[in-house]
DNA sequence: GGCACAGATGAGAATGATTGTCGAAATCAG
DNA sequence: CTGATTTCGACAATCATTCTCATCTGTGCC
């Protein structure tokens, strides 16, 4: 391995993105961008996309693909382990869930079928109490 | 009840789509369209999109959203129960898997957090033996 | 501090998947 | 067959995301 990832520079924009990611909600890149702008930042949309992707690669943020096909992001607990979510389709609020024994199950199944380089997705979505009360069903 | 779903008409195009869906692979709407065209059909792209979506609503085909955000489709066994897949990221080939007790687990978690209208996604992806041999890793 | 430069930014164009529009063609009840 | 309704298909329009490229800015070095 010749190219160790060349640590991203800490620019004003990157810092702003990190600071904006304070809520526990999953939001789209465009939504985070809007928020940053509404708080006075002049950051560009492309920069938000690049920043969030880079942070996701580093494991600093979680990224999930919604049914609509758009990618949603939220800050991840520092150095947290691999995990899954129960996410609200209305507001993006999510809680982390533990799926005991699933990791092992996945590998067993993969081996049975001789599939390699396994990845898995487990996402639960629903409507949170607040959104339900607001009539989003 | 005024508007009961007005059963879709069986047109030549709809029949062609069903016939094309003979392999066990997950492919994009565009890929299925290409195949239909290459086999002489004059069906339009929008029609393929509409048809696949309609069939997915009826449960005739499975639809999954890939990491890229594009939606992949494949015929589902007739009247089959809700299920999940182990899919090859190289060629789309998939096998259906059984995830015992997960359905119950999902509902228990949802109730603990008072989330309603629960849906869940479990997808395993990997590289199948053929694709691995072809060097797609 | 001051310099050099690779990496980062931002405005806007480009892309690519999907959806909308609308006149023409097909389906189906009577 | 006839007319009401639905579906087609070509193509324009959307929308999220990526690319281009001229400009700016951390960072390592003196
Ligand atoms: Zn909510
Ligand atoms: Zn996991
Ligand atoms: Zn299936
Ligand atoms: Zn394969």
pLDDT digits (tens, 9 = 90+) for B60-83: 999 999 999 999 999 987 566 788
Residues of B in contact with A95 (CB under 8 A): 113
> What mean pLDDT comes out for the span B35-47?
96
> What mean pLDDT comes out for the span B37-41?
95
pLDDT block averages, 10 residues each, chain A of length 137: 72 96 94 97 98 94 95 85 92 91 93 95 94 78
Residue B134 touches chain A, beta carbons under 8 Å: no
Interface test with A, best of B115, B117, B128, B136 (most A CBs within 10 A): B115
**Which ligand is closest in space to the CA of residue B117?**
1
Q: How far is the CA of A89 from the centre of ligand 1 (A)?
A: 6
- Distance, in Å, from the CA atom of A8 to the CA atom of A2, rounded to the nearest integer, reads 17
Interface test with B, best of A57, A110, A122 (most B CBs within 10 A): A122
> What mean pLDDT comes out for the span B46-51?
97
Residue A78: the pLDDT is 64
Residues of chain B numbered 65-84 and touching chain A (CB < 8 Å) = 65-67, 69-71
Q: What is the dihedral of CA B116, B104, B92, A106, to 10 degrees?
A: 130
The first and second tokens of residue B92, run together, are: 């789309």
pLDDT digits (tens, 9 = 90+) for B100-125: 889 999 999 999 999 999 999 999 99
A10-17 CB contacts, 8 Å cutoff, 24+ apart: A13/A41, A13/A43, A13/A47, A13/A51, A14/A51, A16/A41, A16/A43, A17/A43, A17/A48, A17/A51, A17/A52, A17/A55
Residue B9: the pLDDT is 87
Q: Is the pLDDT of residue B43 over 70?
A: yes
Residue B5: the pLDDT is 61
- Distance, in Å, from the CA atom of A72 to the CA atom of B98, rounded to the nearest integer, reads 28
Q: For the whole model, what pTM was predicted? A: 0.90
- Residue B55's contacts (CB-CB under 8 Å, 6 or more residues apart) are B17, B18, B61, B73
pLDDT bucket at B2, cuts 50 / 70 / 90: very low
The first and second tokens of residue A51, run together, are: 């920043």
> Smallest Cβ distance to B128: which of A88, A115, A120?
A115
Residue A24: the pLDDT is 83
Average pLDDT over chain B reads 90
Residue A136: the pLDDT is 56
């Amino acid at each position: 391995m010749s190219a160790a990832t060349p640590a991203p520079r800490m620019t004003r924009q990157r810092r702003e993105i990190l600071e904006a990611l304070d809520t526990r909600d999953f939001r789209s890149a465009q939504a985070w961008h809007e928020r940053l702008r509404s708080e006075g930042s002049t950051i560009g949309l492309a920069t938000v996309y690049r920043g969030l992707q880079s942070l996701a690669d580093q494991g600093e943020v979680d990224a999930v693909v919604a049914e609509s096909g758009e990618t949603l992001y939220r800050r991840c607990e520092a150095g947290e382990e691999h995990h899954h979510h129960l996410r609200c389709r209305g507001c993006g609020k999510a809680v982390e869930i533990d799926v005991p024994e699933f990791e092992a199950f996945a590998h067993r199944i993969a081996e049975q079928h001789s599939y390699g380089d396994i990845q898995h997705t487990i996402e639960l979505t629903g409507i949170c109490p607040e959104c339900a009360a607001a009539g989003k069903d």
